[in-house]
Amino acid sequence: MDAQPAVFEHPEFDHHAEVIFLCDPASGLRAVLAIHRTTRFAGGSGGCRMQPYPSSGAALTDALRLSRGMSYKLAMAGVPIGGAKMVVIGDPAKDKTEALLRAIGRAVERVNGRYVTGGDVGVGGPDLDIIADETHYLVRPADGGDASEATALGVLRAIERSVSRHLDGAALDGLTVGVQGLGHVGRRLCDLLAERGARLVVADPRADLTDAVAEAHGAEVVDPDALLSSDLDVLAPCALGAVLNDATVPELRCRIIAGAANNQLATPAAADALAERGIVYAPDFVVNAGGALTSSQRARGEAVDVESLEAIAKNLDAVYDLAEAEAISTHEAAERVARERAPHLA
């Protein structure tokens, strides 16, 4: 059956420039590459992630959502290129082989610069060295530095600005912050929050990660599902997306949401539901743009300027101002701001 109508009619299809289905039986590669936007001078950019998606349809949905989110993130970071994402169907703990990684690299090379890849969930470190043997179109940590530090600092700036603006000028000292997901960004964010006196409540499926933060900072450890209904001043989602949905939003007991996870809203309607409950949502593609911002500085041959992460706080002010003036959700406001800054998103 022709797959094109299914793509064009997909609810997450946003006039994507290209959607490519990849299959390499010899290596077991099955993947979807979604290029959301390109510009006159550049293709789309975004990482390659590998997850055990339950179906090719689920992989397509994630690729469409993630590539679109990447476009908006790059726009808010002031990077004049479009977003893209490759998602690979498979369990990285069992299915990731050298042959599969090389097949990924060859697939990227065949796109001939219309897509520049990098690491993401399930693909990173030595994996990227193997992929780089097969393609020129890849940004590795050796080329662009570790983006997790800048991403975590950017999330911190977003939390500080949101707290100052919406909690009567309060500081982080003494506030309770829940961090969901303790990967590179989530763990570093915990360190930064603890340095500023925040009380931490953390959740991650890996007990070794939660135990480490509990030992280092006296954090309370809860089940990942229980975190969403915990009494918190700030919730920082730093794991996978769609955590804010019809089931979870009614259970939330926080005042602000600001985290590093991509695509935190299952649907735009979740942003309206949060607003109705009086919960301030800092849009994820504004909050987590720190890595994109500093990586673009490196790509231009510039020294990384950590102070430039203050742009995230200023971007949030623009979003909050527009949302309040127009009586719209912060998600809608953020998309408007991004489209004004990046005409290729229109």
Catalytic residues, which ones? 85
d(CA 236, CA 12): 25
Question: Quick check: 183 and 219 in contact, CB under 8 A?
Answer: no
Tokens of 21: 């289905």
Residue 199 Cα distances to 51, 172, 173, 191, 192, angstroms: 32, 9, 8, 11, 11
Measured in degrees and rounded to the nearest 5, phi and psi for residue 70 equal: -65, -40
* CA angle in degrees (0–180, nearest 5) for 307-310-314: 155
In this structure, is the dihedral angle defined by the CA atoms of residues 243, 246, 251 and 252, taken in order, positive or negative? Answer: positive
Question: Quick check: 159 and 256 in contact, CB under 8 A?
Answer: yes
Beta bridge partner(s), residue 257: 235, 281
d(CA 60, CA 316): 30
d(CA 213, CA 61): 33
Q: Where are the alpha helices (DSSP H) in 111-244?
A: 126-132, 141-144, 147-166, 184-195, 207-217, 224-227
User: For the stretch 88-120, what's the b/e string if a residue is b when 16 or more beta carbons lie within 10 angstroms of its beta carbon?
Assistant: bbbebeebbeeebbbbbbbbbbebeebbbbbbb
Q: Which amino acid would we find at residue 31?
A: A
